[in-house]
A and B are shown apart, each in its own frame.
Chain A
Amino acid sequence: MIKVGIVGCGKMADQHAFQIQRIPDTQIVAVCDAEPLMARQMAERFHVERYFGDAREMLDSVKPDVVHITTPPQSHFPLGKMCLESGSHVYMEKPFTVYASEAEDLLKLADQKGLKIIAGHNAQFTHVMVRMRELVKSGYLGGKPVHMESQYCYDFSDPGFAKALLGDEDHWVRKLPGSLLQNIVSHGISKIAEFLSGDRPTVLARGFTSPFLKKIGEEGIIDEVRVIIRDEDETTAYFTFSSQISPAPHQFRLYGPKNSLIVDDDHQVLIKVINKDYKSYLKYFVPPFGYARQYLGNFRKNFGKFLKRDFHLPNDAGLKTLITSFYDSLAGKTPLPLSHKEILLTARIMDDIFAQVNDQQIPKEKGA
């Protein structure tokens, strides 16, 4: 039986616990939170035998095989290091670490110890992203992507997170170097990182505060970012983060030398952009019909999965697939679902983005 510990008993921990409890021969043996009452409530609801207020104590007492770290990002590096040094595999919620250098150290340490570590990039494993990956592997694009576009936006009208963040001057998100961006953009960046080559892609980022946030006095939060990325093979990508586009899109477009793909994560729709020419007016009639058929096919796929009780909402579905694949890899059945390279590239691109947008903010503040 695989013994699992969870450190951090907030909202994400609940979602992890649901998924872990589905996995055969796996048991959550302990939960831990710096606030012991939070640990206690989670232990009670998930019938976990032991709860702790200190991670060190949990590791020493129950010696878990795997630890899920679902704490705020500032603690990811020290906790991850502590867990690896104690001999536990680690599932780290996103963002993996605050800085890329920390990500590098953790990945190295995991390798040295012969342990596995993964980042919580569950948006990479929604139904539609899994289907996209299969098509790319089958050679559908006709080679390495020429260009990619990733839009990962956030709707500030969402009362949950926005209310918590905007209502609390001391919210941990505000203390991250990338503030709001750092807590969200890894999902959109990792989609691009998966297809990049080399270790140091070129990143050009521009960030600013939306008029909406300025109006409510939140000048310090950058909630609009546009990024251009280029790797050593001249594959390029655009990344967009916005809090003002409504509805907030979560899309990924892959443009290949032969064909292209559009992934609409909001509706779990995958569209093939087929490189086929039609004569004269036919190109205005046949492809639209083909797209209509593709949309209908997506409906059939989604509904079919729903009937087979294998759909779930995208975040849950992604988490379910990622956690299941992670535990399969621990059992030696499959490789890790996310490569170390992808985790590290995501962290490095994020570092570059935050450094650039923060630099852009400084002169503005000085001038103000």
Chain B
Amino acid sequence: MDSQSENLFGLEDGPFILDSEKTILVTGANGFIGSRVVRTLLMYGFRRVRCLARPTSAPGNLDKIAGEFGQARLDLVKGNLLSRETCKVAADGAAVIYHLAAGVEKSYPGCFLNSVITTRNLLDAAIKEPGLKRFVNVSSIAVYSNERIRRGGVLDESSDIEDNLADRYEPYVYGKAKQDEIVLEYAQRHNLPYVIVRPGVVFGPGKAKITDRVGSDTFGVFLHKGLSNRIPLTYVDNCAEAIVLAGLKKGIDGQVFNIVDDDLPTSREFLRSYKQNVRRFMSIPVPYTVWLAFCTLWEKYSRWSGGQLPPAFNRRACAIYWKGNSYSNEKAKTMLGWRPKIAMRESLRRFFDFMRDVEDKKK
């Protein structure tokens, strides 16, 4: 985020549920989105931001922020959410908890352990905090199902949640969906004030990857599967501000917000710009029906062969990523008062600049 955008933020954006002297906890604070959430909170004027980061995470992001805003406003807690003691220390006195720590593993048990058990530990600590005003659970837009949405139809907060995540063969999404479930369970049982935020594809400097929703080079050549689909992008700083607002705004407890930016590019537009601005490479366009047929065959083969090939390509995942839907950010705009302040054109420019640097370093 550049200095230009700093004056766009402020406590005057309220009314908020807490004042600037209250303690705010951010888990996953050193991560791609988490560090931006910390920065945004400091820009808003909050003075006690507690950052929970893994003991092994390189302190780079937070060090930079501390240098900019002063160490006094940051309280760094190193630890693992699998430790109840860490959770207790981290949640102590917190008025708002932003839970961004995520478990990215290859296996279902690994993702469950690092998403659900960690969240449960944090929730157990959170419900003991008398001053807790809100628990913001950061989930993912990938937990939805578009089975009942036609091609081009709108996927929003009212859409169904995928009810058969095991068939999608996506441990990370499974972990995220189960994480949402446990937050809802605690909300019901313990009257926990919560908000769930489901960002789309978060992109920006710091994450050197073209989203799979555009395509991938799994088979040695870039298969462009997104074609005319709108990609549910959200620039990391815009997304961070939406998350921050989800923890601050009055009257939104129990709500779910999907976060995507305005003026979403189609996959074709994104890829064309990428090639023009970063690097030229060959890509093969793959229509949805062709990819769906491939995924269907792969899935059947996987079952027939007793898992000789894992069902990594399957119909459900194919549908959610490449069937082609439109996405709405109306709810976030209306209830959070959020606007993606960095326009898509500028967001893409910054991302492409970053990717160009990454590519240059590879040379």
Contact = CB atoms under 8 A, between A and B. Distances in A.
A11 B307 contact: no
A309 B109 contact: no
B306 interface: yes
Name the residue in B106, B109, B113 with the highest tally of chain A Cβ atoms < 10 Å from its Cβ: B109
Contact of A309 (B55, B105, B305): B305
A312 interface: yes
B116 A309 contact: no
Contacts of A166: 56
Interface residues of A, number: 25
Binding site secondary structure of chain A: helix
A14 B107 contact: yes
A37 B181 CA distance: 12
Instruction: Determine the interface band of chain B, counting residues with CB < 8 A from chain A.
Output: 20 to 34
Given A37-B120, A45-B166, A168-B80, A309 B304 contact: yes
Nearest to B110: A11
Given A166-B56, A167-B54, A169-B55, A309 B306 contact: yes
B308 A312 contact: yes
Contacts of A37: 112, 116-117, 120
A47 to B, nearest CB: 10
Contact of B112 (A41, A160, A168, A170): A41
Interface in B200-259: none
Nearest to B54: A167
B56 A306 contact: no
B109 A42 contact: yes
Contacts of B112: 37-38, 41
A10 interface: yes
A11 B107 contact: yes
Interface string A131-171: 00000000000000000000000000000100000111110
B108 A41 contact: yes
Contacts of B106: 160
A13 interface: yes
Interface in B36-91: 54-56, 80, 83
Contacts of A38: 109, 112-113, 117
A174 B308 CA distance: 34
A160 B111 CA distance: 12
A344 B116 CA distance: 39
Contact of B56 (A22, A160, A167, A309): A167
Interface string B289-311: 00000000000000011111000
A339 B110 CA distance: 33
Interface in B84-143: 105-110, 112-113, 116-117, 120
B178 interface: yes
A311 interface: yes
Contact of A14 (B56, B83, B108, B308): B108
A35 interface: yes
Contacts of B305: 309
Contacts of A168: 55, 80
A169 B116 CA distance: 21
Nearest to B107: A11
A170 B113 contact: no
B119 to A, nearest CB: 10
A45 B80 CA distance: 26
Interface in A75-100: none
Given A18-B307, A306-B308, A312-B308, A160 B55 contact: no
A217 to B, nearest CB: 11
B181 to A, nearest CB: 11
Contacts of B110: 10-11, 160
B306 A45 contact: no
A338 interface: no
B154 to A, nearest CB: 30
A160 B114 CA distance: 13
A168 B57 CA distance: 11
A160 B306 CA distance: 25
A13 B113 CA distance: 14
B299 to A, nearest CB: 15
Counting from the closest, the 7 A-B pairs by CB-CB distance are A309-B305, A167-B56, A11-B107, A41-B112, A10-B109, A11-B109, A309-B308
Interface of B: 54-56, 80, 83, 105-110, 112-113, 116-117, 120, 166, 178, 304-308
